[in-house]
Chain A
Amino acid sequence: MREASAPSLAPVDPLIRLSGVSKTFSTGTRAVEAVDLDLMPGEFLSILGPSGCGKSTLLRMIAGLGAPTGGEIQWASGHGGGSRYGTRDLGFVFQDPTLMPWANALDNVALPLILEGAAKREAQAAARDKLALVGLAGFESAYPRELSGGMKMRVSIARGLVTEPSLLLMDEPFAALDEITRHRLNHDLLNVWRDVGFTAVFVTHSVFESVFLSQRIVVMAARPGRIVSTLDVGAPYPRDEMFRTSSSYASLCRQASDQLKTAMGG
């Protein structure tokens, strides 16, 4: 089934391979249990599941924030060891924009490069490019409090992309936004992904969002947090409002929704 919908993925080595990855917190919570997952270069993958099923924990482990208590996370050679300056080859977008309130948009986006030891001028030039990429040209000197929720999220995405990582991890980035803003950001995120060509892992608890965005959806269940099924979304890109109202979108959403219900035990 998967070969049919995404034939280009088959012969390529995965960017990251998770084998038997588990995490048990000291409290005894089995947040993630025995997850096997290959992230293919350039794909858009969503992790869909009810809240508390370990999505964030899994994503954070992929990012290297908190080691697994079992299993292994392997990067394809030439990536895990890091980018130019030796840090990990990934960007992370948190659920909250997580911007420094004392710095303007440009300095917020430039931060990862500064931390990697880049010169300020160089870092700001790259940050300016990325702000333009997410549609925020002209807002370089705005402070976070002067930006709307959607704009702050755009800044956060620009910051995630500023090191030009192979992998962008996003943890329910649009969960707190209103529906109209969320649709626009979904749309713009897809365009950026297609332009830049990074591998995207997008955590969400919204069935509609996961189907609209991704090529592949991994459905997780709680207690213990584990992967229960995988759904391929064969629809071609670009996806737009036409796709959102199409019957194939509706039927895919129904499938994903059914799998999520099964995952939640009913």
Chain B
Amino acid sequence: MSSPRTAKTTTSDLGPLPTASARSNDRWLKLAAPFLVGIIFLGGWEAAVRIMAIPPYILPTPSRIIETLVSDWPTLAASLRITLAITFSALAAAVVVGGALAILFTQFKWVELALFPYAVILQVTPIVAIAPLIIIWVNDTNLSLLICAWIVAFFPILSNTILGLNSADHNLRNLFELYGATRWQTLRYLRLPAALPYFLAGLKISGGLALIGAVVAEFVAGTGGTASGLAYRILEAQYQLKIPRMFAALTLISLAGVAIFLATSIIAHRLLHRWHESAIKREN
């Protein structure tokens, strides 16, 4: 029980209970504050649109958007499913390819020297510029969208995991050497666990990027064919001047992004909370 903490919670020095309730207060604030901001923002929006009598094809009210979400749900939900399927497949491919390449690069320096520049080129070339080519080359629309989303998503995982694999403590490496650890043992017991926090940080970024990649690529493709994702719904609604529907699709994309961010954050916390500084609550 350090003194700074005692000073902060004067009457609560007797046991874990007050600390626990302080922590749950904290959590409430974390949920309530953004929620409140959201309510105020949406309320202001609704009021402004009504008072100024802005027509719905310029800016619909939030309530109108929600109505549209409900009435158009069957179409929108189908599109959401497609966009999410592309996003998650791309993210999974990014994890597998990015992770495997990172391991390969750190195990064989010459592979890294030979291939890393191309990974960078892939990363810095704007996806909107490559997407049309990929869509021409790959016959299957969904597959070409997946490839585009993958290109955007895989670099953060690759570069973060490489950084993590190389960040294992110097003395620990000496220790492994001392006990004659094989390359595989050093990878398994030292470098991979040391890389985990870095990998997860990369995953958080890539989750959002995979969604952006999936949406942008579909915008570029401009055609959905039989099965269309949310980006196509936005384009379609725009042509037909169904602006509330456009906003509804946009809302779904945002919500999906938030959900992906939350999910990756929770995964990271679950895996790291016992040992890594980033996931530890300091009590002073």
Please list the residues of chain A having a beta carbon within 8 angstroms of any beta carbon in chain B: 60, 63-65, 85-88, 90, 92, 94, 96, 98, 100-103, 111-112, 114-116, 143-145, 163
Instruction: Sample 20 A-B pairs with CB under 8 A, ordered by A number.
Output: A60-B174, A64-B178, A65-B178, A87-B180, A92-B178, A100-B172, A100-B190, A100-B193, A101-B275, A101-B276, A102-B196, A102-B276, A103-B193, A111-B189, A114-B185, A114-B189, A115-B176, A115-B189, A143-B274, A144-B275
* A102-B193, A143-B274, A144-B275 as given contacts; A65 in contact with B171, CB under 8 Å: no
B267 contacts partner chain A, Cβ-Cβ < 8 Å? no
Question: Which chain A residues lie closer than 8 Å to B29 at the CB level?
Answer: none
Contact, CB under 8 Å: A98 / B276: no
Contact, CB under 8 Å: B169 / A98: yes
Map CB proximity to A onto B134-172 as digits: 1 under 8 Å, 0 otherwise: 000000000000000000000000000000000001011
- Cα–Cα, bound, A145→B185 (Å): 24
Q: Which of B175, B196, B276 contacts A92 (CB 8 A)?
A: B175
Contact, CB under 8 Å: A145 / B275: yes
Contact, CB under 8 Å: A96 / B171: yes
B239 contacts partner chain A, Cβ-Cβ < 8 Å? no
B181 contacts partner chain A, Cβ-Cβ < 8 Å? yes
Question: Which chain B residues lie closer than 8 Å to A115 at the CB level?
Answer: 176, 179-181, 185, 189
- Cα–Cα, bound, A114→B176 (Å): 11
Question: Which chain B residues lie closer than 8 Å to A100 at the CB level?
Answer: 172, 189-190, 193
Q: Count B-side interface residues using an 8 Å CB cutoff.
A: 21
Which among B172, B177, B196 has the highest number of chain A CB atoms within 10 Å?
A: B172
B280 contacts partner chain A, Cβ-Cβ < 8 Å? yes
**Whose C-beta in chain A lies nearest to the C-beta of B196?**
A102
Q: Is chain A's interface secondary structure helix, strand, loop, or mixed overall?
A: loop
- Cα–Cα, bound, A260→B276 (Å): 42
Which among A60, A101, A143, A144 has the highest number of chain B CB atoms within 10 Å?
A: A101
Could you tell me the distance in whole angstroms from the C-beta of B277 to the nearest C-beta in chain A? 8
* A100-B190, A114-B189 as given contacts; A145 in contact with B280, CB under 8 Å: yes
Question: Which chain A residues lie closer than 8 Å to B190 at the CB level?
Answer: 100
- Cα–Cα, bound, A219→B174 (Å): 26
Could you tell me the distance in whole angstroms from the C-beta of B198 to the nearest C-beta in chain A? 13
Question: Which chain B residues lie closer than 8 Å to A65 at the CB level?
Answer: 174, 177-178
- Cα–Cα, bound, A94→B172 (Å): 9
- Cα–Cα, bound, A101→B180 (Å): 21
Contact, CB under 8 Å: B178 / A143: no
Question: Which chain B residues lie closer than 8 Å to A63 at the CB level?
Answer: 178
**Whose C-beta in chain A lies nearest to the C-beta of B193?**
A102
Contact, CB under 8 Å: B179 / A87: yes
Please list the residues of chain B having a beta carbon within 8 angstroms of any beta carbon in chain A: 169, 171-172, 174-181, 185, 189-190, 193-194, 196, 274-276, 280
**Whose C-beta in chain A lies nearest to the C-beta of B190?**
A100
Which among B171, B178, B180, B193 has the highest number of chain A CB atoms within 10 Å?
A: B178
Which among B175, B176, B196 has the highest number of chain A CB atoms within 10 Å?
A: B175
Contact, CB under 8 Å: A98 / B175: yes
- Cα–Cα, bound, A32→B280 (Å): 43
- Cα–Cα, bound, A115→B176 (Å): 8
Could you tell me the distance in whole angstroms from the C-beta of A215 to the nearest C-beta in chain B? 25
- Cα–Cα, bound, A131→B184 (Å): 27
**Whose C-beta in chain A lies nearest to the C-beta of B181?**
A115
Question: Which chain A residues lie closer than 8 Å to B185 at the CB level?
Answer: 114-115
Question: Which chain B residues lie closer than 8 Å to A88 at the CB level?
Answer: 178, 180
Question: Which chain B residues lie closer than 8 Å to A111 at the CB level?
Answer: 175, 179, 189
Could you tell me the distance in whole angstroms from the C-beta of B196 to the nearest C-beta in chain A? 7
- Cα–Cα, bound, A253→B280 (Å): 44
Q: Which of A60, A86, A94 contacts B180 (CB 8 A)?
A: A86
- Cα–Cα, bound, A100→B177 (Å): 15
**Whose C-beta in chain A lies nearest to the C-beta of B194?**
A102
- Cα–Cα, bound, A88→B174 (Å): 13
Could you tell me the distance in whole angstroms from the C-beta of B161 to the nearest C-beta in chain A? 16
- Cα–Cα, bound, A65→B178 (Å): 7
- Cα–Cα, bound, A103→B192 (Å): 13
Question: Which chain A residues lie closer than 8 Å to B181 at the CB level?
Answer: 115
Could you tell me the distance in whole angstroms from the C-beta of A18 to the nearest C-beta in chain B? 18
- Cα–Cα, bound, A114→B179 (Å): 10
Contact, CB under 8 Å: B275 / A112: no
- Cα–Cα, bound, A103→B181 (Å): 17
* A86-B180, A115-B185, A145-B280 as given contacts; A102 in contact with B174, CB under 8 Å: no
Q: Which of B169, B176, B177, B275 contacts A143 (CB 8 A)?
A: B275
Contact, CB under 8 Å: A112 / B280: no
Which 10 residue pairs of A and B lie closest in terms of their CB atoms, listed nearest first? A87-B180, A98-B171, A115-B179, A102-B193, A101-B275, A115-B181, A112-B179, A102-B275, A94-B171, A143-B275
Could you tell me the distance in whole angstroms from the C-beta of B106 to the nearest C-beta in chain A? 18
- Cα–Cα, bound, A96→B171 (Å): 8
Contact, CB under 8 Å: B171 / A116: no
Could you tell me the distance in whole angstroms from the C-beta of A136 to the nearest C-beta in chain B? 18
